[in-house]
């Protein structure tokens, strides 16, 4: 006689996840994030990934210093079951610099994930909760990947409900390579 076994997963909330960090269930040095209620180990940061994050963050700081805050690998409270750590975010300016709470989707003007080994997770698990109508493309720092300067830039388009609070100064194209 075959016995059917059905396993039910228990999703953690952001509050429970944070509490695990406070009491030491999750060590401070652990590279984890909460995605759709599951605690997920983050991929190690390799040299190409780190280099790409540094280059893009430098560009964002230069271009948007007066219009937005640039967050590098900081937490984002996406919903009740997800608190991710995107590689880069442009955030609405706030007087307390988010000391009173992590940015939420309403605060995020642009979210960038640099993906090499984590591309499937970034596209399939991390990105969907973050206003999918605002996603365009990712940068892949892997071998043989085209230089960002050679990848066609998506045309700017207006999305209903997304404010035009960040404007990009008109300058010559900048190569990230």
Taking residues 94-99, report their average pLDDT: 96
CA distance 124 to 72: 21
Q: Which of the pair, 148 or 119, is modelled with greater confidence? A: 119
Output the average pLDDT for the chain.
Answer: 76
Answer for the pair 89, 115: CB distance below 8 angstroms, yes or no: no
Residue 103: exposure state from Cβ atoms within 10 A (0-12, 13-18, ≥19)? buried
Is residue 98 pLDDT above 90, yes or no? yes
* pLDDT at site 117: 60
pLDDT value, residue 70? 96
Q: Which two tokens stand for residue 168?
A: 């990009």
Domains in the chain, CATH or no CATH each: 14-134 (3.90.1570.10)
pLDDT in tens, 52-93: 999 999 999 999 988 999 999 999 999 999 999 999 999 999
| DSSP letters for 50-79 | HHHHHHHHHHHHHHHTTT-EEEES--EEEE
User: Per-residue pLDDT for 171 more than 50?
Assistant: no
């Amino acid at each position: 006689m075959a016995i059917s076994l059905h396993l039910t997963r228990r999703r953690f909330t952001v509050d429970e996840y944070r509490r695990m960090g406070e009491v030491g269930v999750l060590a401070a040095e652990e590279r984890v994030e909460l995605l759709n209620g599951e605690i997920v180990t983050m991929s190690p940061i390799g040299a190409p990934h780190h280099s790409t994050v540094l280059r893009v963050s430098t560009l964002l700081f230069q271009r948007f210093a007066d219009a937005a805050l640039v967050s590098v690998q900081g937490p984002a409270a996406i919903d009740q079951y997800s608190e991710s750590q995107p590689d880069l975010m442009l955030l609405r300016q706030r007087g307390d610099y988010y000391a009173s709470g992590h940015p939420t989707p309403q605060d995020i003007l642009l979210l960038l994930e640099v993906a090499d080994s984590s591309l499937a997770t970034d596209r399939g698990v991390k990105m969907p909760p973050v206003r999918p109508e605002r996603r365009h493309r990712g940068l892949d720092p892997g071998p043989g990947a085209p230089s960002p300067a050679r990848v066609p830039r998506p045309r700017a388009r207006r999305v209903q409900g997304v404010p035009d609070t960040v404007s990009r100064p008109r300058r010559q194209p900048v190569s990230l390579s």
